[in-house]
């Protein structure tokens, strides 16, 4: 591997056409720069500088090397600048329920990173129960999740109205009732089963999707009925499934291991956004 220090001495002599001037510019003694050129020539097995020329010039081998040497030094300088820039060197791990990761949320993230270039946001959108479990295991620094009741260590919590929905073109459902759910362990799934059984209805899972968009699309397509946050169905081709009426509200809760430190402005902004989201509901 070519030593960049030796290459810099080589390029410096050629650029200044003088050992003396190159040594002054590189803050070396002339003997040191001569030794470095000698070491490079010994390593490559070729004379690189024609010392008999006035001013000094390149040998044929030096002519072949000079372009590579400049490129190597340019890449090294670029790498040094990149590593000196602290942007994105500190990770903040965030987990969000899928319908919380919206354009307004992304704008909060954009404002935060603009003011905190050192911090990189590693965001995971997913199912609330999975995110909560991973947070408790230390995989996230901050989460916003849906849950039946807020935990005592949450930083903020707001009610989340939920309801039963079906396609706008839904038929009169036959017996048993087809349900559209999340996978086992997904939020609302067990609540759906309990409600159907409380109504003395037979039921079956017609479709299970591992994401909110897949569940919403299945409902729109008429695969069955489902229990979902009211805010999640806005703009979708669905309607209330009237036979089941209303359900108790869930909670949208924000958790963070530390309230202070670099994440404090982001936690405050997320808390305010959740409050505005709640206030905007009819």
Quote the CA–CA distance of 268 and 73 in Å, as a whole number.
45
Query: Is the pLDDT at 136 greater than 90, yes or no?
Result: yes
Query: Is the pLDDT at 88 greater than 60, yes or no?
Result: no
Domain 162-248 homologous superfamily, CATH: Periplasmic binding protein-like II (3.40.190.10)
Asked if the domains 4-84 and 90-159+251-279 are classified in one and the same CATH topology, the answer is no
> What mean pLDDT is predicted for residues 8-33?
87
Q: Name every residue whose Cβ is closer than 8 Å to that of residue 242 and which is 6 or more positions away in sequence.
A: none
Give residue for tokens 């040497």. 69
Query: Is the pLDDT at 115 greater than 60, yes or no?
Result: yes
Whether CATH 3.40.190.10 fits 90-159+251-279: yes
Report residue 18's pLDDT band, with 50, 70 and 90 as the boundaries: confident
- Return the domain boundaries, the chain: 4-84, 90-159+251-279, 162-248
Quote the CA–CA distance of 191 and 197 in Å, as a whole number.
10
Give residue for tokens 């997913």. 126
**Distance set, CA 131 to CA 78, 135, 260, 272 (Å):** 39, 6, 22, 21
pLDDT at position 85, please? 66
State if pTM tops 0.75. Answer: no
Is residue 108 within a helix (H) or strand (E), and if so which, with residue range? helix 103-115
For domain 4-84, the CATH architecture is Orthogonal Bundle (1.10)
């Amino acid at each position: 591997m070519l030593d960049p220090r030796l290459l810099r001495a080589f390029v410096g002599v050629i650029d200044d056409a003088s050992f003396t001037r190159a040594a002054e510019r590189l803050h070396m003694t002339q003997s040191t720069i001569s030794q470095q050129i000698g070491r490079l020539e010994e390593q490559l097995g070729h004379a690189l500088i024609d010392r008999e020329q006035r001013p000094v010039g390149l040998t044929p081998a030096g002519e072949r090397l000079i372009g590579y040497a400049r490129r190597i030094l340019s890449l090294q300088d670029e790498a040094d600048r990149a590593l000196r820039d602290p942007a994105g060197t500190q990770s903040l791990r965030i987990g969000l329920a899928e319908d919380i990761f919206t354009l307004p949320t992304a704008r909060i993230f954009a404002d935060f990173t603009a003011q905190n270039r050192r911090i990189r946001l590693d965001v995971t959108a997913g199912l609330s129960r999975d995110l909560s479990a991973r947070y408790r295991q230390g995989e996230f620094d901050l989460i916003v999740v849906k849950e039946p009741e807020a935990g005592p260590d949450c930083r903020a919590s707001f009610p989340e109205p939920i309801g039963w929905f079906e396609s706008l073109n839904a038929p009169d459902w036959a017996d048993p009732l087809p349900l559209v759910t999340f996978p086992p362990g997904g939020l609302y799934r067990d609540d759906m089963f309990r409600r159907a059984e409380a109504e003395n209805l037979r039921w079956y899972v017609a479709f299970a999707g591992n994401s909110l968009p897949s569940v919403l699309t299945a409902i729109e397509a008429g695969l069955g009925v489902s229990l979902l946050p009211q805010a999640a169905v806005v703009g979708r081709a669905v309607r209330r499934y009237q036979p089941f009426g209303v359900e108790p509200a869930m909670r949208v809760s924000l958790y963070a291991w530390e309230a202070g430190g670099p994440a404090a402005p982001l936690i405050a902004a997320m808390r305010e956004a959740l409050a505005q989201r709640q206030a905007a509901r009819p």
